[in-house]
Copies of this chain bind each other. A is one copy, B any other.
Amino acid sequence: MTFNLETSNNRIFKESFDSISRIVDEITLIIDTEGLKLTTLDRSHITFIIMELDKTVFDEFECTTPEKICIDVNEFMKILRNVKSNDILRLNVDEGNFIVTFIGDATRKFKLRLIDNDYEPQVPPKISHPVKISIPSTILTDALKDMSIFSDKLQFLIDENYLHIRSDGEFGDTNTEYLHGENILTTACSTFGIDKLTDILRSSKFSNEMELELGDDMPLKLTLKLPTGDGILQYLLAPRIEQED
């Protein structure tokens, strides 16, 4: 045993991996004395994901030596889908398996085969965005449903007062305006694929608020933070840069 993690807050895993499992096939989890983290990039190099859970997220956190394990994230999500809200979630390893245990009326143990790989975790690109606002997660989940009526892409535009989300199509166009209440002195505008954003927002219940960082034709940075301040889930989404119509 090189690590043993336990948390009653199994919701965090269920919600973040519901999104992650739609974006990538395999992930490398890094468990060290600080906590659990992962960084990953999808095959098409469009969505970068960073997840960091400090050890304080866990009721029990032991890690004798840092460990990197690679797993099939779809199989992991199939397991997480079966967790019950009151179950304690335990994570550890043996020779060759990632062990996920749900402790409730019964003890339900899942051994997921580890995947051999020797590639290094992706290093997140450093990007400095000109504009950053905080919005309720529901603003974005509602807007995505609206935008998908007429198109498969949408535009974010942040100005001094508003976040504008827009899409255009043959049969109509739609526009969400949200008064952001932040001190913004410039504007920023980029276009993104609705499918990719929909995958990302499967994790929207990770936190009620999201930080949204934007630039002109730059990647979108979306950050969800646990209210307790000891965990983040972050996405960098490449823009769709297209010819003017």
The chain A residues found within 8 Å of chain B, CB to CB, are 72, 75, 78-79, 82, 84, 97, 105-113, 136, 138-139, 142-143, 145-146, 149, 170-178
Contact = CB atoms under 8 A, between A and B. Distances in A.
Total identical chains? 3
B108 A174 contact: yes
Nearest to A140: B106
A182 to B, nearest CB: 15
A88 to B, nearest CB: 14
18 contacts: A75-B149, A75-B171, A79-B146, A82-B145, A82-B146, A84-B142, A106-B142, A106-B177, A106-B178, A108-B142, A108-B143, A109-B174, A109-B175, A109-B176, A109-B177, A110-B174, A111-B172, A111-B175
A106 B149 contact: no
A159 to B, nearest CB: 15
Contacts of A177: 106-109
- Sorted from nearest, which 10 A-B pairs have the closest CB atoms? A106-B178, A112-B172, A107-B177, A110-B174, A78-B149, A108-B176, A109-B175, A106-B176, A111-B173, A82-B145
